[in-house]
């Protein structure tokens, strides 16, 4: 398994090398050439079953590629397409359409009109919506529904562009009487509900946080070796070495937490929510420290628009908040322990208590 994932990471590294931005200026545009390469190699739907139109493989395979993509600051909705949209479509018996996909969860007014559905609603902060042909929407309810929304050239759909602090598309999708065929709206598959969406999304952002943190570490080590002060490189100063050690420790903790959470999600679903919640809390908390040390050791240079460090640190700041920051997950984990009764922490960690949910 390790050799397989190492080979996959090497292949992904070769693909993403040279595709990262050269400066810190936010760019909300899709890297179409990179997406074409991902599509041609099957990386765009890695982890989605072949019978649903995906590339097959496991979630661990997809996570390995996602971590490398985040480390290279790739401007593509890889996680949204494969880990979120593809998961919901495959789990609900729907084929995966071509092209990049947006994914969201939110309330939507749906009513039947003969053999069709009519949809009204306002969906904020939908990642990459302006660049996608379709969005997969989970409508939470007593019986959750899945909706496949066409986004381009369809009457009744308007996409209002917006971005997060990293300059990534976080658009608002407005539906005003959108007519959908009956096949585009169906009950969500087993295990696909609001809680599952939150857990899956938190896992995705945890993996991406680990990747972006690795970018900060690599850039900072390189900078402190190359930059000289008082006739010697910055990395020779003890105070800098101490900060680099702290930075490396934080990044390692994020990577270990992310990979452990992926493993728990795939192999021990009774404890998956706990593992993912703890990993997201760890990654979100460490993101602040990683960004702070990276900027401190780069000095004023790291804040300039000509330097690409900001493209990584702004992603850390944005992703740490999405699907719950460390405060949110610490609270959820604490509440789960409290309601589990005597020995609750042990029973929760071993899958003998209720899972952690929003």
Which pLDDT does position 42 carry in this prediction?
94
Q: Where are the alpha helices (DSSP H) in 144-193?
A: none
**d(Cα 147, Cα 135) in Å, to the nearest integer?**
8
CA distances from 355 to 261, 262, 290, 340 (A): 14, 16, 30, 10
User: Are the beta carbons of 161 and 174 closer than 8 angstroms?
Assistant: no
Q: Diameter of the chain by CA atoms?
A: 79
Give the pLDDT confidence of 172-193 residue by residue, as tens digits: 999 999 999 999 999 999 999 9
Which residues, given as ranges, of the chain have pLDDT below 70? 1-2, 228, 270, 302, 351-358
**d(Cα 274, Cα 333) in Å, to the nearest integer?**
7
> The tokens 């097959």 sit on which residue?
56
User: Are the beta carbons of 108 and 175 closer than 8 angstroms?
Assistant: yes
> The tokens 């609603």 sit on which residue?
121
Type and span of the H or E element at 309: helix 309-321
Domains and CATH numbers, the chain: 2-187 (2.40.110.10), 194-349 (1.20.140.10)
HEC string for 204-264: HHHHHHHHHHHHHHHHHHHHHHHCEECCEEHHHCHHHHHHHHHHHHHHHHHHHHHHHHHHH
Which pLDDT does position 302 carry in this prediction?
67
Beta bridge partners of 103: 136
* Residues 284, 285, 290, 293, CA torsion sign: positive
Which pLDDT does position 197 carry in this prediction?
97
User: Are the beta carbons of 149 and 135 closer than 8 angstroms?
Assistant: yes
What is the pTM assigned to this prediction?
A: 0.94
> The tokens 């990534």 sit on which residue?
168
Which pLDDT does position 354 carry in this prediction?
52
Report the SS3 class of residue 171: strand
User: Are the beta carbons of 288 and 215 closer than 8 angstroms?
Assistant: no
> The tokens 């609001």 sit on which residue?
194
């Amino acid at each position: 398994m390790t050799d397989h994932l190492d080979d996959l990471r090497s292949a992904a590294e070769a693909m993403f090398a040279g595709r990262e931005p050269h400066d810190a200026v936010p760019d909300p545009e899709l890297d179409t050439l990179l997406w074409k390469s991902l599509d041609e190699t099957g990386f765009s739907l890695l982890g989605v079953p072949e019978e649903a139109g995906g590339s097959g493989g496991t979630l661990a395979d997809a996570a390995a590629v996602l971590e490398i993509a985040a480390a290279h600051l790739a401007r593509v909705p890889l996680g949204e397409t494969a880990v979120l949209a593809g998961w919901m479509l495959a789990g609900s018996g729907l084929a995966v359409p071509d092209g990049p996909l947006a994914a969201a969860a939110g309330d939507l007014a749906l009513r039947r009109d003969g053999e069709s559905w009519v949809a009204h609603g306002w969906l904020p902060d939908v990642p990459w919506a302006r660049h996608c042909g379709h969005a997969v929407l989970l409508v939470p309810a007593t019986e959750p529904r899945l909706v496949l929304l066409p986004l381009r050239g369809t009457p009744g759909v308007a996409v209002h562009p917006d971005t997060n602090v990293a300059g990534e598309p976080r658009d608002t999708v407005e539906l005003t009487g959108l007519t959908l065929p009956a096949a585009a709206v169906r009950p969500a598959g087993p295990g696909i509900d609001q809680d599952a969406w939150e857990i899956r999304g938190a896992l995705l952002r945890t993996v991406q946080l680990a990747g972006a943190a690795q970018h900060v570490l690599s850039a900072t080590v390189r900078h402190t070796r190359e930059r000289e002060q008082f006739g010697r490189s910055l990395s020779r100063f003890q105070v800098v070495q101490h900060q680099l050690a702290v930075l490396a420790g934080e990044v390692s903790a994020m990577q270990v937490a992310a990979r452990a959470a992926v493993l728990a999600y795939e192999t021990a679903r009774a404890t998956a929510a706990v593992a993912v919640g703890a990993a997201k809390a760890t990654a979100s908390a460490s993101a602040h420290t990683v960004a702070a040390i990276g900027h401190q050791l780069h000095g004023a240079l790291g804040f300039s628009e000509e330097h690409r460090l900001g493209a990584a640190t702004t992603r850390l700041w944005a992703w740490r908040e999405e699907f719950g920051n460390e405060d949110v997950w610490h609270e959820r984990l604490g509440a789960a322990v409290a309601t589990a009764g005597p020995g609750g922490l042990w029973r929760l960690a071993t899958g003998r208590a209720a899972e952690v949910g929003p």
